[in-house]
Amino acid sequence: MTPKDRAQKAAQHMWDSDQASQWAGMEIDMVDEGQAALSLTVAPHHTNGHGICHGGIIFMLADSAFAFACNSRNQSTVAQQNSITYIAPGRLGDRLTATAHEVSLTGRSGIYDVRVINQENSVIAEFRGGSRAIRGQLFEEQGDE
């Protein structure tokens, strides 16, 4: 199995149980080893009292991209810590895309950066996530017993 095949299979297994990302209206655009991109269109139910995309929705999109990137090797992995810097507002109707890439993976700990942009490639937010591998896999691989 190639690393990309493993990443795509891991993503499918996660997606099948990821009710939160689906509920929010996210779509997976791309997954590969150590990277992922997810997107959503800002709908009225994503906006806050200022009429812009709620920061929690932007964080959720970035966090989901982070999750698919750090689980791409079929090793169950969770967030250890995350931070986000909001740069510009997401607006109603914007297509937001969060692209995650692995910065470092040492032992059970990883660091991932996620950039959230809109359809005009304007940066909306920058997110950094720290991951920790835990026991288990997302799916059983051939030869595992």
Over residues 37-88, the pLDDT tens digits come to: 999 999 999 999 999 999 999 999 999 999 999 999 999 999 999 999 999 9
Domain ranges, residue 76: 3-133
Is residue 31 pLDDT above 70, yes or no?
yes
Residues in the chain: 145
Domain-located, residue 139? no
**For the chain, percent of residues with pLDDT exceeding 90:** 94
Q: For residues 6 and 71, give the distance between their C-alpha atoms in angstroms, rounded to a whole number.
A: 10
Domain-located, residue 32? yes
3-class SS letters over 4-48? HHHHHHHHHHHHHHCHHHHHHCCEEEEEECCEEEEEEECCHHHEC
Instruction: Report yes or no: 116 and 61 within 8 Å, Cβ to Cβ.
Output: yes
Domain-located, residue 141? no
Compute the average pLDDT of residues 106-133: 97
Q: What is the CATH number of the domain that holds 85?
A: 3.10.129.10
Domain-located, residue 142? no
Q: How many domains does the chain have?
A: 1
Domain-located, residue 110? yes
Give me the chain's average pLDDT, please.
Answer: 95
- Measured N-to-C along each axis, helices 55-70 and 3-17 cross at an angle, to the nearest 10 degrees, of 130
